[in-house]
């Protein structure tokens, strides 16, 4: 960091030197014209001090900007990048040629206006080229007019993969690795540096339970990387101005136009309120549970008392709770039951039933 601070300080001094020269060219202040050396010293000193004082902030913002640009380029189709580059270069060339006839000695017109015109035309060229991508690439012999080639050129836009950002809880949970293994979840899966840091902090905890959970999360990440069924990216990005990890995840999802994979109820709600798409593992589990309707029969093993008198509690293989009215006498046994009602809660499904033997007695 010391080397960076020195470099930024020197850069600030150089900017101050050129700034002093520009001020002298204005030829507006008699005092300044009589003391050019003092002006150079003041400008160089002030700009160098500003560079030294704001090094950390400038470097942090530059890294964040650079990470955002790299992430955006990684998820942009190659055809769009190629067409945009061609359009940008063409626009800049047109801008330079268009400003050549401008007068050379008129303030603003000779120094500022050419830059503005060139940048605007470069942006317009890049935008138009991306929107007319197929035609541009065809002109440069990078595309074809056949139906087959046209479909192939359009396929990246239709099948563009969206980044899925993993939070700490879903990594420790581990079910995401099993979902990836089935092929139902496409990559890239993004693990931000601040999530990895939180996992390492948990793995180094003095509490045995936390330490085991943290190490389990690291093992699951390693497993997903080794299996290589989907791309797992460790993204070196952080938001130093945001202390909370959940808020950082939402911010990153907005920057990448991605989705957050979680099983955290609160993070789910916060992300949805801010317009970020969420893939909740618990919602997925509930969605794929077998459909049970009133009137169906099944066999369940009752293991404990229910909250109400005479109730017995059992569970299906997927963890769904079954409350059996009058099932207390069958605790410790497997008994045939008749489903009477199915209740969907935020925690999952709950099935109410009664023993078939009781139904026969009635």
Q: Which string of DSSP letters, residue by residue, matches 150-192?
A: HHHHHHHHHTPPPPEEEPHHHHHH-HHHHHHHHT-S-S-EEEE
pLDDT given for residue 158 in this prediction = 37
What are the tokens at 229?
A: 């069924």
**Cβ burial 17-32 (10 Å sphere, 16+ → b, else e):** bebbeebeeeeeeeeb
If we measure between CA atoms, which residue out of 339, 327, 262 comes closest to residue 301? 327
How does strand 259-262 pair with strand 278-280? Answer: parallel
- Whether the full predicted model's pTM is greater than 0.75, yes or no, is no
Half-sphere exposure of 226 (CA within 13 A, CB side): 6
Domains and CATH numbers, the chain: 2-134 (no CATH), 164-286 (3.40.50.1010), 297-361 (2.40.50)
Would you say the C-alpha torsion 120, 123, 129, 132 has a positive or negative sign? negative
Task: Give the C-alpha separation, 198 to 190, whole Å.
Answer: 15
Q: What is the per-residue pLDDT for 146? A: 43
Q: How far apart are CA 64 and CA 251, in angstroms?
A: 12
Given the DSSP bridges, would you call strands 297-305 and 232-235 parallel, antiparallel or unpaired? unpaired
Torsion of CA 107, 113, 116, 121, to 10 degrees: -170
Distance CA 80, CA 73 (A): 10
| Residue 181, CB-side half-sphere exposure with 13 Å CA sphere | 11
Residue found under tokens 């309120």: 273
Q: Is 206 exposed, middle or buried (0-12, 13-18, 19+ CB in 10 A)?
A: exposed
Residue pair 337/300 in contact by the 8 Å Cβ criterion:
yes
How do beta strands 259-262 and 232-235 pair?
unpaired
Residue 321, strand partner residues: 315, 350
Hey, is 332 helix, strand or coil? Answer: coil
pLDDT at 107: 65
Dist. CA 189–CA 89, nearest whole Å: 34
- Pull the structure tokens for residue 111: 């120094």
Residue 71 is predicted with a pLDDT of 74
Which two three-digit tokens encode residue 146? Answer: 């056949």
Q: Which pair of structure tokens corresponds to residue 166?
A: 């993993």
pLDDT tens, the chain, 362 aa long: 667 777 878 887 888 887 777 777 665 555 555 667 777 788 888 888 887 787 777 777 777 877 777 777 666 777 777 878 888 888 889 888 888 887 777 666 666 778 888 888 888 888 888 787 777 766 765 444 444 444 444 444 434 578 889 898 889 988 888 888 888 887 788 888 888 889 999 999 888 888 999 899 899 888 888 876 788 888 888 887 888 888 888 888 888 888 999 888 888 888 888 888 888 888 887 777 777 788 888 888 999 888 888 889 998 877 788 999 988 888 888 889 998 888 876 666 788 998 886 655 44
């Amino acid at each position: 960091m010391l080397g960076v601070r020195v470099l930024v300080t020197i850069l600030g001094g150089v900017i101050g030197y050129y700034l002093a020269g520009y001020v002298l060219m204005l030829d507006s202040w008699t005092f300044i014209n009589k003391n050019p050396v003092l002006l150079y010293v003041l400008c160089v000193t002030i700009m160098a001090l500003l560079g030294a004082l704001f090094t950390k902030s400038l470097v942090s913002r530059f890294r964040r900007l650079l990470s955002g640009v790299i992430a955006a380029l990684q998820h942009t189709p190659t055809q769009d990048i190629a067409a945009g580059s061609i359009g940008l270069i063409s626009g800049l060339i047109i801008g330079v040629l268009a400003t050549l006839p401008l007068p050379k000695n008129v303030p603003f017109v000779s120094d500022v206006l050419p830059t503005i015109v060139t940048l605007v035309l470069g942006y317009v060229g890049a935008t138009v080229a991306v929107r007319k991508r197929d035609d541009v690439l065809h002109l440069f012999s990078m595309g074809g007019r056949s139906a087959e080639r046209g479909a192939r050129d359009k396929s990246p836009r239709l099948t563009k993969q969206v980044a899925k950002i993993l939070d700490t809880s879903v990594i420790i949970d581990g079910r995401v690795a099993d979902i990836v293994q089935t092929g139902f979840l496409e990559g890239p899966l993004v693990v931000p540096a601040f999530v990895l840091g939180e996992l390492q902090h948990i793995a180094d905890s003095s509490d045995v339970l936390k330490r085991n959970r943290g190490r389990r999360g690291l093992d699951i990440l390693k497993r997903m990387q080794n299996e290589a069924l989907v791309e797992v990216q460790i993204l070196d990005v952080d938001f130093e101005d945001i202390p909370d990890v959940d808020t950082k995840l939402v911010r990153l999802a907005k920057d990448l136009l991605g989705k957050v994979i979680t099983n955290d109820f609160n993070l789910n709600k916060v992300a949805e309120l801010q317009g970020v798409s969420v893939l909740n593992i618990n919602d997925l589990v509930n969605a794929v549970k077998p459909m049970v309707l009133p009137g169906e029969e099944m066999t369940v093993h009752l293991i404990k008392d229910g909250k109400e008198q005479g109730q017995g509690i059992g569970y299906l293989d997927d963890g769904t709770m079954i409350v059996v009215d009058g099932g207390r006498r069958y605790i410790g046994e497997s008994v045939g039951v008749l489903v009477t009602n199915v209740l969907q809660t935020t925690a999952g499904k709950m099935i109410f039933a009664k023993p078939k033997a009781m139904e026969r007695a009635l």
